[in-house]
């Protein structure tokens, strides 16, 4: 079930407190503690993260936001999908795309879970973006292994994403799917 809507006031207070604490930690040379604080933010409601992003950028801490996105890319699949969905819902498509691009290095089993979670939450464009990013950087054989995890759902979606990437990527994927007995 989707998370309850975020209380904007609570999200703003949490973001302000995090930025204040990050500034203090950075001024004291406590980079490890600052990194820990960013990781803690990922444990909070995903809908609060876009508010934190805005506060970090306003405070000149864009590098901390980039670090937070990098850490988010290694979250469990359902959590990764929730964060990507929250960023998309908040009108932060660039951040969502960056997160999804960074998430394609994970094992295909985890990617299948992230795609399933995105589709289940109604985030079809983000799921397709994840598949397209995957197809840009991973081998067609990896894509066939991904498709094999849920052929009925993933094969047509992978083909659609490959078509959006390039004709040669679609052709390579079709060949890998045939070799794997999936097309």
CA angle 171, 177, 182 (to 5 degrees): 140
> What's the predicted TM-score (pTM) here?
0.85
Residue among 134, 147, 140 at smallest CA distance from 172: 140
Cα distance between the two ends of the chain: 34
pLDDT at 7: 79
pLDDT at 1: 39
Report, in angstroms and rounded to the nearest whole number, the Rg of the chain calculated over CA atoms.
18
pLDDT at 140: 97
Residue range 105-134, pLDDT digits in tens: 899 999 999 999 999 999 999 999 999 999
Give pLDDT tens digits along the chain (183 positions).
Answer: 344 455 779 999 999 999 999 999 999 999 999 999 999 999 999 999 999 999 999 999 999 999 999 999 999 999 999 999 999 999 999 999 999 999 998 999 999 999 999 999 999 999 999 999 999 999 999 999 999 999 999 999 999 999 999 999 999 999 999 999 998
pLDDT at 122: 93
pLDDT at 176: 98
Q: How would you label 133-163 residue by residue, b for 16+ Cβ within 10 Å and e otherwise?
A: bbbeebebebbbbbbbeebeebbebbbebbe
SS3 98: helix
């Amino acid at each position: 079930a989707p998370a309850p809507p975020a209380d904007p006031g609570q999200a703003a207070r949490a973001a302000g407190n995090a930025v204040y604490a990050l500034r203090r930690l950075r001024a004291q040379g406590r980079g490890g503690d600052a990194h820990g604080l960013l990781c803690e933010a990922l444990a909070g409601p995903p809908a609060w993260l876009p508010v934190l992003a805005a506060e970090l950028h306003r405070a000149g801490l864009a590098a901390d936001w980039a670090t937070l996105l990098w850490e988010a890319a290694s979250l469990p699949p359902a959590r990764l999908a929730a964060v990507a969905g929250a960023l998309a819902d908040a009108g932060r498509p660039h951040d969502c795309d960056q997160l999804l691009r960074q998430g394609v290095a994970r094992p295909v089993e985890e990617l299948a879970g992230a795609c399933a979670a995105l589709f289940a939450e109604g985030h079809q464009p983000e799921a397709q973006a994840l598949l397209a990013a995957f197809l840009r950087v991973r081998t067609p054989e990896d894509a066939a292994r991904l498709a094999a995890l849920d052929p009925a759902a993933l094969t047509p979606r992978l083909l659609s994403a490959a078509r959006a990437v390039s004709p040669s990527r679609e052709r390579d994927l079709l060949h890998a799917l045939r070799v794997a007995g999936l097309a």
